[in-house]
Structure 1
Amino acid sequence: MNYFRKQRNYGCRIHDQYTYMGMKTIVMENERIRLSVLVDKGTEIFEFLLKSRDLDFMWLTDNGIHNPNRYLPTSPDSQSTYIDYYIGGWQEIFPNGGVSSSYMGAQFGQHGEVAHMPWDYIIETDTPEMISVKFTVKPKKVPFELSKIFTLCANSTKVTIKEEVRNLSEVSLHYMWGQHMALGKPFLQPDCKISLPENIEVIADILDFPEDKTVRVKRGITHQWPLVEEPSGDMTDLSILPSQGTPSEIVYLTGFNETGWYQVENNKLGAAMRVEWDARVMPYLWYWQEFGHTSGYPWYGRHYNIGLEPFSSYPTHGLAEAIRNGTANLIHGEETQTFTMSAALLEI
Structure 2
Amino acid sequence: MPSPAEITLQSDALLLRCTPAQGFSIASLVDRISGAEAFWQRPGHTPASCSRVLGPAGEASSETFVDLFAGGWFEMFPEVGYTQPGDPASLVHGEVVRLPWEVVSTDAEHVEARVACVRRPLTLTRRLTLDGARLHVAERIENVGAAPAPYTWGHHPCFSRTTFAGGRIELEAAAATVPEPWFQPESATLAFGDFDWPHAPARETSAAAHPGGAGPAPVATTPAHGAAPPAATFDLSQLPVRADGRHDHACLTMGSGSFRLIAPDAGPAGRALRIDFDRERFPYALLWQNFGAGDGFPFWGAADTFAIEFSTMPGRSTPDALAAGAVSQLHPGEVVETSFTVGWEAV
TM-score by length of 1: 0.81
Structure 2: gaps (5+ residues): 205-230
**How many residues are aligned here?**
314
Q: Percent identity?
A: 21
CA 1:63–1:313 in 2, change beyond 3 Å: closer, same or farther?
farther
CA 1:61–1:150 in 2, change beyond 3 Å: closer, same or farther?
same
CA 1:250–1:69 in 2, change beyond 3 Å: closer, same or farther?
closer
1:154-169 equivalences under 5 Å are 156-169=132-145
Structure 1 distance, partners of 2:113, 2:54, is 27
Q: Tell whether 2:232 aligns with 1:234.
A: yes
Match of 1:304 in 2: 304
1:46-195 equivalences under 5 Å are 46-66=27-47, 68=49, 77-101=60-84, 106-123=88-105, 131-153=109-131, 156-184=132-160, 186-189=162-165, 191-195=166-170
Match of 2:327 in 1: 328
TM-superposed CA distance for 1:237, in Å, is 0.6
Q: Is the 8 A contact 1:136 1:146 kept in 2?
A: yes
Structure 1 distance, partners of 2:85, 2:139, is 25
CA 1:340–1:226 in 2, change beyond 3 Å: closer, same or farther?
same
Give, as a single letter, the amino acid of the residue that structure 2 aligns with 1:79. Answer: S
Q: Which is strand-richer, 1 or 2?
A: 1
Match of 2:176 in 1: 202
TM-superposed CA distance for 1:32, in Å, is 1.5
Q: Which is helix-richer, 1 or 2?
A: 2
TM-score by length of 2: 0.82
Match of 1:346 in 2: 345
Match of 1:121, SS state, is strand
Q: Tell whether 2:246 aligns with 1:247.
A: yes
Structure 1 distance, partners of 2:238, 2:60, is 35
Give the root-mean-square deviation of aligned CA atoms. Answer: 2.8
CA 1:205–1:299 in 2, change beyond 3 Å: closer, same or farther?
same
Q: Is the 8 A contact 1:132 1:151 kept in 2?
A: yes
Q: Which runs of 4+ in 1 moved over 6 A?
A: 72-76
TM-superposed CA distance for 1:138, in Å, is 0.7
Give, as a single letter, the amino acid of the residue that structure 1 aligns with 2:91. Answer: G
Q: Is the 8 A contact 2:24 2:97 kept in 1?
A: yes
Give, as a single letter, the amino acid of the residue that structure 1 aligns with 2:98. Answer: H
TM-superposed CA distance for 1:204, in Å, is 1.4
Q: Is the 8 A contact 1:247 1:290 kept in 2?
A: yes
- Per-residue CA distance 1:62-96 (angstroms, 9 max, x = gap): 134545179x9999932111112111101111112
